[in-house]
Amino acid sequence: MIKICDKKRYYSSGEVARLFGVSVGTIIRWIKDGKIVAYKTLGGRSRIGRDEVNKLVDEFVGGSKNE
């Protein structure tokens, strides 16, 4: 299992998009489709937990890079 080595507990949709080389719109769609579990801040922004990002890394490494 590959893990993201970072002290951050949560990532913005933009950070996750850059990490995976996809658009922010793709990340938002993955959240809406239930592929990624995200939390909303009081300001309405999505935050994605480190464990969720690690799970997504495993999916990408496994070869299922679906947008």
Mean pLDDT computed over 16-41: 94
**Count: domains in the chain:** 1
Say if 14 falls within a structural domain: yes
Pairwise CA distance, residues 42 & 67, whole Å: 28
3 band by pLDDT with thresholds 50, 70 and 90: low
The C-alpha atoms of residue 8 and residue 4 are separated, in whole angstroms, by 10
CATH code (residue 30): 1.10.1660.10
Does residue 34 fall inside a structural domain?
yes
Task: Give the pLDDT confidence score for residue 1 in this predicted structure.
Answer: 47
Domain that holds residue 32: 10-61
The reported pLDDT for the residue numbered 59 is: 84
**What is the average pLDDT across 22-37?**
95
Residue 43 lies in a domain: yes
CA distances from 32 to 5, 6, 11, 26 (A): 26, 26, 17, 10
Examine residue 22 and state whether it is found in any structural domain, yes or no: yes
